């Protein structure tokens, strides 16, 4: 199966060049589509000058991750669409591992790669549906087994940091729901795929080194974690109903309230401030969806 690797760039700076450099080994087998989401830092122009084999799609404005990814998918020609963050670098062979595994599992429509940080430390790349299961089990203790997995396994949903989707399924789903703008769109896509009977799998051996969320940090600063939770609240507002949303808000408020208090107790004031923003977001409720 051929793949189209789609990267959505918004002011990713030097990180984008590292991302594209890590994909050089795929040149000739898979196409790389770079979506410039109205960047102002010249990152897309500089990167494509250094890597002329990359196809550039310019949106003219910031459509958000979901909108930019959909624009790249429209231009793509591969059988599988691989979405990769511009602040991530794939380990050699990771794209082929992800795509080939997806091809070997006929019931799977989406596959997510394994993530590590700059030091090689494990990062989560998948999570669970449901407010309680997600908030209480997608934690450090709840993910101990996942850290030890080496072979592909079924999950509820995978992060859009490094994920592959069968092109026909992506079209059937209508792509990412662009109303999310950023955060929540990967959860939403996997949920809708599951409703059609398509499984989502996690492939730990297909590894990507995930950096420091360059674009998100630039846009949201210390409020990034709160934006993640806002995306999840949008999802439950759309698909879970009032009870699920109310449960998510209540449990998340308690969870991050405790984390705020603990961080403050040990003098980690910046961390406490980050968690406090999450608490305020949960109390405030669901922010409006972006226009479709």
Q: Let me know if residue 248 belongs to a domain.
A: yes
Instruction: Say whether both 108 and 242 belong to one domain.
Output: no
Q: Is the pLDDT of residue 110 over 80?
A: yes
Q: Is 91 exposed, middle or buried (0-12, 13-18, 19+ CB in 10 A)?
A: middle
CB 164 within 8 A of CB 79: no
Q: Is the pLDDT of residue 164 over 80?
A: yes
Last residue of one domain, picked from the residues 153, 186, 213 = 213
Q: Is the pLDDT of residue 246 over 90?
A: yes
Q: In which band, very low, low, confident or very high, does the pLDDT at 89 lie, cut at 50, 70 and 90?
A: very high
Q: Let me know if residue 289 belongs to a domain.
A: no
Last residue of one domain, picked from the residues 213, 242, 263 = 213
Q: Is the pLDDT of residue 290 over 70?
A: no
User: What is residue 223's predicted lDDT score, i.e. its pLDDT?
Assistant: 87
Instruction: Say whether both 7 and 139 belong to one domain.
Output: yes
Antiparallel, parallel or unpaired: β 122-123 and 108-116:
antiparallel
Last residue of one domain, picked from the residues 155, 186, 213 = 213
User: What is residue 176's predicted lDDT score, i.e. its pLDDT?
Assistant: 98
Nearest to 203 by CA among 121, 115, 120, 87: 115
Instruction: Say whether both 103 and 200 belong to one domain.
Output: yes
Q: How far apart are the first and last CA of the chain?
A: 31
Q: Let me know if residue 233 belongs to a domain.
A: yes
Instruction: Say whether both 11 and 131 belong to one domain.
Output: yes
Q: In which band, very low, low, confident or very high, does the pLDDT at 214 lie, cut at 50, 70 and 90?
A: low
In the 8-state DSSP scheme, what is residue 262? H
Q: C-alpha angle with apex 274: 269 to 280, nearest 5 degrees?
A: 120
Q: pLDDT tens for residues 221-241?
A: 888 999 999 999 999 999 998
Higher pLDDT, 217 or 201: 201
Q: Let me know if residue 290 belongs to a domain.
A: no
Instruction: Say whether both 142 and 270 belong to one domain.
Output: no
User: What is residue 288's predicted lDDT score, i.e. its pLDDT?
Assistant: 67
Q: Is the pLDDT of residue 262 over 60?
A: yes
Instruction: Say whether both 197 and 273 belong to one domain.
Output: no
Instruction: Say whether both 20 and 159 belong to one domain.
Output: yes
- Mean pLDDT, rounded, of the chain: 94
* Torsion angle of C-alpha atoms 221, 224, 230, 234, degrees rounded to 10: 110
Q: Is the pLDDT of residue 53 over 90?
A: yes
Host domain of residue 94: 3-213
Query: What whole-number distance in Å separates Cα of residue 235 and Cα of residue 188?
Result: 6
Q: What is the mean pLDDT of residues 145-154?
A: 95
Query: What whole-number distance in Å separates Cα of residue 39 and Cα of residue 34?
Result: 12
Q: How many residues does the chain have?
A: 292
Q: Let me know if residue 253 belongs to a domain.
A: yes
Q: pLDDT tens for residues 111-125?
A: 999 999 999 999 999
Question: In total, how many domains does the chain have?
Answer: 2
Q: Is the pLDDT of residue 217 over 80?
A: no
Q: pLDDT tens for residues 179-208?
A: 999 999 999 999 999 999 999 999 999 999
Instruction: Say whether both 150 and 40 belong to one domain.
Output: yes
Q: What is the mean pLDDT of residues 73-101?
A: 97
Tokens 């602040």 belong to residue: 87
Q: What tokens does 210 get?
A: 């995930």
Nearest to 289 by CA among 183, 188, 179: 179
Query: What whole-number distance in Å separates Cα of residue 138 and Cα of residue 272?
Result: 20
Instruction: Say whether both 53 and 185 belong to one domain.
Output: yes
Q: Is the pLDDT of residue 292 over 60?
A: no
């Amino acid at each position: 199966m051929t793949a189209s690797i789609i990267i959505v760039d918004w002011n990713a700076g030097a990180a984008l060049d590292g991302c594209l450099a890590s994909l050089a080994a795929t040149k000739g087998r898979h196409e790389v589509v770079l979506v410039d989401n109205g960047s102002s830092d010249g990152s897309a122009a500089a990167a494509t000058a250094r890597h002329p084999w990359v196809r550039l799609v310019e949106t003219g404005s910031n459509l958000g991750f979901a909108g930019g990814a959909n624009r790249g998918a429209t231009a793509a020609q591969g059988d599988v669409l691989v979405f990769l963050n511009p602040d991530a670098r794939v380990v050699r062979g990771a794209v082929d591992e992800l795509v080939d595994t997806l091809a070997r599992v006929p019931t799977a429509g989406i596959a997510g790669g394994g993530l590590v940080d700059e030091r090689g430390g494990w990062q989560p790349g998948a999570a669970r549906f449901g407010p309680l299961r997600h908030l209480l089990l997608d934690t450090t203790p709840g993910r101990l087994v996942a850290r030890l997995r080496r072979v592909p396994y079924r999950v509820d949903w995978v992060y859009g940091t490094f994920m592959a989707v069968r092109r026909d399924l992506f079209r059937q789903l209508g792509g990412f729901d662009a109303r999310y703008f950023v955060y929540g769109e990967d959860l939403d896509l996997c949920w809708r795929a599951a409703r059609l009977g398509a499984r989502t799998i996690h492939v730990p051996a297909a590894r990507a080194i995930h950096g420091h969320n360059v674009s998100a940090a630039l846009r949201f600063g210390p409020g990034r974690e709160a934006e993640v939770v806002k995306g999840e609240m949008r999802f439950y507002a759309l698909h879970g109903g009032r009870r699920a949303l109310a449960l998510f808000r209540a449990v998340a408020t308690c969870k991050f309230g405790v984390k705020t208090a603990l961080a403050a107790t040990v003098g980690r004031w910046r961390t406490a401030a980050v968690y406090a923003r999450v608490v305020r977001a949960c109390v405030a409720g669901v922010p409006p969806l972006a226009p479709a």
